[in-house]
Copies of this chain bind each other. A is one copy, B any other.
Amino acid sequence: MQATRSTPTLEDVAKSAGVSTATVSRCLNSPDRVIENTRMRVLRAVDELGYTPNFGARVMAAKRTFTIGAIIPTMENAIFARGVQAFQEELHRRGYTLLISSSAYQPDLEEEQIRALVSRGADGLLLIGYERNPEIYRYLERQNIPVLVAWAFSDENDRPSIGFDNCAAMRELAKTVIEFGHRKIGVISGITQGNDRASQRLKGIEDAVANSLLDPKIMGIIETPYEIDNGGDAFEELMKNEDRPSVVMCGNDVLAVGALRRAQQMGLHVPRDVSITGFDDIELARIVMPSVTTVHVPHREMGQKAATQLVKMVENESTGVSTELQITLRIRDSLGRIARA
Contact = CB atoms under 8 A, between A and B. Distances in A.
B257 A287 contact: yes
A109 B113 CA distance: 23
B78 A1 contact: no
A88 interface: yes
A124 B56 CA distance: 19
Contacts of A109: 92
A327 interface: no
A121 B288 contact: no
Nearest to A283: B228
B102 A117 contact: no
Interface in A31-86: 47, 49-50, 52-56, 59-63, 65, 67, 69, 74-78, 80-82, 84-85
Interface size band for A: 35 or more
A340 interface: no
A118 interface: yes
Contacts of A99: 69, 99-101, 116-117, 120
Contacts of A59: 54-56, 59
Interface stretch (A15-23, A142-150, A206-214, A235-243): A142-150
A157 interface: no
A284 interface: yes
A24 to B, nearest CB: 15
Contacts of A54: 54, 59, 119-121
Interface in A200-254: 228
B65 A75 contact: no
Given A67-B116, A99-B99, A287-B288, A144 B81 contact: no
A301 interface: no
Contacts of A98: 101-102
A2 B63 contact: yes
B82 A76 contact: yes
Nearest to A75: B81
Contact of A78 (B4, B55, B75, B257): B75
A296 B309 CA distance: 41
A123 interface: yes
Contacts of A3: 60-63
A121 B63 contact: no
Given A116-B67, A116-B99, A104 B77 contact: no
Contact of A288 (B53, B85, B288): B288
Given A77-B283, A99-B101, A288-B289, 5 more contacts: A1-B118, A50-B143, A52-B143, A100-B101, A120-B121
6 contacts: A3-B60, A75-B84, A89-B104, A92-B109, A100-B102, A257-B287
